[in-house]
Amino acid sequence: MSRAIGDMAAAFANQDSSGEPEVSPLAQAVKLLSAEEGLSKVEKAKLMLVAQKDIGFANLILSVEDVETRDAIYRLKLGEV
């Protein structure tokens, strides 16, 4: 499954005009979620689907640096799904 997640993240990466790869917020969110500890694979998958549908959610989790706060956001969002 981790290979598929890596492939998904790579598929969402873009390139800017200089030829350097520019990673989209969605790809960054997928990478962040795949590395999270304390979440099951199903929970990670649900959150990835939410991030795909709601780029605001993806941007939110990328901007929160505190792990405990980010975990609380995950738990709240999983309660909605």
Q: Considering the entire predicted model, what is its pTM?
A: 0.72
| Domain locations along the chain | 2-80
pLDDT score recorded for residue 9: 61
Q: What angle do CA 9, 73, 49 make, to 5 degrees?
A: 35
Please state the rounded mean pLDDT for residues 22-30.
92
Q: What is the pLDDT of residues 30-79, one digit of tens each?
A: 999 999 999 999 999 999 999 999 999 999 999 999 999 999 999 999 99
More confident residue, 81 or 38: 38
**Beta carbons of 61 and 29 less than 8 angstroms apart:** yes
Q: How confident is the model at residue 7 (pLDDT cuts 50, 70, 90)?
A: low
pLDDT score recorded for residue 6: 64
Question: Which residue pairs, CB below 8 angstroms and at least 24 apart, start in 45-53?
Answer: 46/78, 46/81, 47/74, 47/77, 47/78, 48/5, 48/8, 50/77, 50/81, 51/26, 52/26
